[in-house]
């Protein structure tokens, strides 16, 4: 079993420190079409901690997809394709831009499964972000899924349709520049976001892939703007890829102190579902 080779990674931990400089946050504002106004002392918007704690590996330490080769911090899963499956967050304290912060990451869980598309391996990483005084500010459980290459003659999956009763709805029009900027801001080398030939011929997508983390960031931002306050928790799960540079919608409905959210593809399919509590 594959798991016998990787289960020793459970409990493995690493720590990074970073200064939450204002410039990445300003560049992120520009990437999503806003004026770059954030400054030191302002609160970092939810999920924007992904702009920090970045790690650069030399080119010869990268895999075929542009990610660092497996077997370092992440386990040496044999399956070739890697995706960001989802995550769960608890926001405990505001994170001020300009602060010196620390992130501790721990491999929490590894599980093998068999799906309709073949073998899968799920790796859950717990990230904990601490403020300069040692206060725990947020926790994140990050779900990564590894899977087989697509079979050329395999039938296309039929994703579930998105709800049709949104209370709030906004259209997102992806561009190659937007995808490039977010990849650059997060130092994400995954080729599906900028190499259309690789995305189509190797990983089987219809075209360039819109980042799952960016979709989640837009959804939680929609929730925060709708409710007029910062969320206490947020969770999301990718359900179908956003590929091919088609416009899509981010949508949601309020339920007391909760918002149910989703991303709706151009064909009506639900690409991501999420919940924010306030």
Question: Residues 238-262: pLDDT tens digits?
Answer: 999 999 999 999 999 999 999 999 9
Q: Which pLDDT score is estimated for 1?
A: 41
pLDDT digits (tens, 9 = 90+) for 114-141: 877 688 999 999 999 999 999 999 999 9
Q: Which pLDDT score is estimated for 44?
A: 98
- Residues (pLDDT < 50) of the chain are 1
Of the candidates 120, 115, 105, which has an alpha carbon nearest to the alpha carbon of residue 74?
A: 105
Q: Which pLDDT score is estimated for 37?
A: 98
Contact 76, 82 (CB under 8 A): no
Alpha helix stretches (DSSP H) within the chain:
2-6, 22-31, 176-185, 196-201, 212-227
**Domain count for the chain:** 1
- Looking up tokens 């709030």, which residue turns up? 168
3-state secondary structure of 130: strand
Q: pLDDT averaged over the chain?
A: 94
- The whole-angstrom separation of Cα 133 and Cα 152 is 53
Containing 215, the helix (H) or strand (E) segment is helix 212-227
Domain of residue 38, residue span: 2-277
DSSP summary character for residue 197: H
- Looking up tokens 């010869």, which residue turns up? 60
* CATH assignment of the domain containing 117: 3.10.129.10
Q: Which residues contact 71 (CB under 8 A, 6 or more apart)?
A: none
Containing 146, the helix (H) or strand (E) segment is strand 136-147
Q: Which pLDDT score is estimated for 87?
A: 98
């Amino acid at each position: 079993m594959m798991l016998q080779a990787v289960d020793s990674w459970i409990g493995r931990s690493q720590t990074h420190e970073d200064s939450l400089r204002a410039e990445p946050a300003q560049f992120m504002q520009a990437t999503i079409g806003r004026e770059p106004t954030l400054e030191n002392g302002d609160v970092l918007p939810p999920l924007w901690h992904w702009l920090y704690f970045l790690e650069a590996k030399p080119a010869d330490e990268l895999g075929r997809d542009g990610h660092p080769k497996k077997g370092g911090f992440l386990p040496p899963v044999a399956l070739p394709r890697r995706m960001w499956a989802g995550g769960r967050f608890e926001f405990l304290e505001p994170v001020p831009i300009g602060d010196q912060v620390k992130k501790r990451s721990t491999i929490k869980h590894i599980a093998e499964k068999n799906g309709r598309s073949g073998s899968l391996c799920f790796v859950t990483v717990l990230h904990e972000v601490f403020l300069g005084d040692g206060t725990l500010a947020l926790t994140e459980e990050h779900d990564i899924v590894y899977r087989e290459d697509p079979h050329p003659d395999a039938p296309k999956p039929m994703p579930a349709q998105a709800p049709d009763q949104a209370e709030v709805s906004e259209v997102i029009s992806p561009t190659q520049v937007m995808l490039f900027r977010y990849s650059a801001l997060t130092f994400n080398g995954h080729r599906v976001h900028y190499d259309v030939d690789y995305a189509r011929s190797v990983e089987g997508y219809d075209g360039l892939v819109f980042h799952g983390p960016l979709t989640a960031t837009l959804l939680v931002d929609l929730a925060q703007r709708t409710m007029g306050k910062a969320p206490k928790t947020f969770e999301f799960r990718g359900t179908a890829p956003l590929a091919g540079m088609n416009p899509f919608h981010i949508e949601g409905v309020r339920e007391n102190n909760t918002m149910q959210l989703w991303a709706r593809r151009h064909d009506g399919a639900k690409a991501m579902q999420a919940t924010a509590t306030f």
